[in-house]
Structure 1
Amino acid sequence: MDIPQISWNYQLSVHCCPTEGSYPRTKASQVCGISVQLEMLELWQQFNQLCTEMIVTKAGRRMFPTFQVQISGMDPTAEYILLMDFIPVDDKRYRYAFHSSSWLVAGQADIAAPSRMHFHPDSPASGSQWMKQTVSFDTLKLTNNLLDDNGHIILNSMHRYQPRFHVVYVDPTPNSHLNAQRNFVSFSFPETRFIAVTAYQNHRITQLKIASNPFAKGFRTSDSKNWRLSTWCPPEDRTEAFSLKLGKKKNKALQQ
């Protein structure tokens, strides 16, 4: 039986995409005019064209590229909470076929990991504070530890995810919880979709991360042929290890 190959040639979005399209006028005035611009868009697009992979570990691993945005349209005097969550793109599990350098459907998705939100550590803050600088979620970490008690985002390896960004207006009025649906807006960027992995599968992803991640500068050489890549494939077609034979210190750097 032929295994279907996944097509990744979906439309790229240059601007932010509200998760549910245009927001109705019933949204609070403090949020209905908010717009969000994804930073490092060109870099995200480069990764997206190769099918972005993000490492998950038991201890938690930071994302690269880091999710960063510029926000406009906030009420400068109002307070807002910023947070992120990650939702499955589909109900499939994937595997990487090295002979064809492509991702294939490997079956139905595993049981979904516990859903979590990551709150930006500066929350809550005023609209003027959020808008005056780039908002970076550089403390966010991804894990595959279902028993994680550090607040990291729990994901299943070999599953595809869509990060979502949420802006919540801190309503000071009594019984504000009754207006919860009016006080937030959500945004998602197709360019930031990724497959969670315990080790990089596509060597081109590894090379792009080395070339663009400042924490991996120790891996860079003038001749890309000097990158010695090795993979180990345990049973059941599951590639669980990927190493660059450049020394322990440099392997640690790539984990950033």
Structure 2
Amino acid sequence: VNAELEDSRLWEAFAAVGTEMIITKSGRRMFPSLKLRLSGLEPDKRYCVYLTVEPVADCRWKFQSSRWLVVGKGEPAPAHRCFMHPDSPASGAHWLKQPVSFLRMKLTNNGMDPHGHIILNSMHKYRPRLYVAEIEESAWLHSRFVAYGSFDFPLAEFIAVTAYQNQRITQLKIDCNPFAKGFRVTGK
């Protein structure tokens, strides 16, 4: 089993500047969103696909003098959550036919979030990790995970923020995200 990040050129452009993702109490979608291409699955077997967002290191960051700097020890990690892809479980053929999109996944800083969003600390660095679990279904109609594959995506690392810190990231989001109209000068 293998997984590759789609839109790698877009992710490279963001990584070159220092990717930031907004987190809010109500939850915010990522941009760029995670789209992953899977390979090596058996078409007739069933799989669950889910994502976690994991801390890269136990430190707090600050944007200062046009760059990100480590400024101290990180806050305790929030409750670890995973985002199960809404198509799970599905056949290998289903997962292989097109990129797996996590467009619906939202990031939040609300530690009491009741909606299943991924809870993160602001000013901490994170990396998405994908899990692929094969499902074995018994004659008793009970399912269990029998095999795991996990993949992380260093190119998709980001710092969680409540407001963009780097003006270059703000501009890149405006230029590349058709839904970033709130930041455009014209408001269109």
- TM-score, normalising length: structure 1: 0.69
What aligned pairs does 1:1-256 form with structure 2 within 5 A after superposition? 34-97=1-64, 100-173=65-138, 177=144, 180=145, 183-216=147-180, 218=181, 244=183, 246=185, 250=187
Compared CA separation, residues 206 and 169, structure 1 to 2 (3 A): same
- TM-score, normalising length: structure 2: 0.93
| Letter aligned with residue 79 of structure 1 | R
In structure 1, how many angstroms separate the alpha carbons of the residues matched to 2:74 and 2:30?
22
CA radius of gyration, larger in: 1
SS of residue paired to 1:122: coil
**Between the two proteins, what is the percent identity of the paired residues?**
49
- 1:171, 1:183 within 8 Å by CA — same for their partners in 2? no
| Letter aligned with residue 170 of structure 2 | T
| Letter aligned with residue 129 of structure 2 | R
Query: Cα RMSD over matched residues?
Result: 1.8
Compared CA separation, residues 54 and 76, structure 1 to 2 (3 A): same
SS of residue paired to 2:18: coil
SS of residue paired to 1:111: coil
In structure 1, how many angstroms separate the alpha carbons of the residues matched to 2:179 and 2:129?
25
| Letter aligned with residue 94 of structure 1 | W
In structure 1, how many angstroms separate the alpha carbons of the residues matched to 2:143 and 2:113?
32
In structure 1, how many angstroms separate the alpha carbons of the residues matched to 2:103 and 2:170?
20
In structure 2, how many angstroms separate the alpha carbons of the residues matched to 1:118 and 1:176?
19
Compared CA separation, residues 245 and 140, structure 1 to 2 (3 A): closer
1:136-178, CA deviations, whole angstroms, 9 ceiling, x for partnerless residues?
000000000001001000000000001100101001247975x
| Letter aligned with residue 73 of structure 2 | Q
* Structure ranking higher on relative contact order (CA contacts 8 Å, 6+ apart): 2
Q: How many residues align?
A: 186
In structure 1, how many angstroms separate the alpha carbons of the residues matched to 2:143 and 2:171?
49
Match of 1:7 in 2: none
In structure 1, how many angstroms separate the alpha carbons of the residues matched to 2:82 and 2:143?
20
- 2:174, 2:184 within 8 Å by CA — same for their partners in 1? no
Greater per-residue helix proportion? 1
> Unpaired segments of 5 or more residues in structure 2?
none
In structure 1, how many angstroms separate the alpha carbons of the residues matched to 2:38 and 2:134?
14
- 1:55, 1:199 within 8 Å by CA — same for their partners in 2? yes
| Letter aligned with residue 123 of structure 1 | S
Greater per-residue strand proportion? 2
| Letter aligned with residue 52 of structure 2 | D
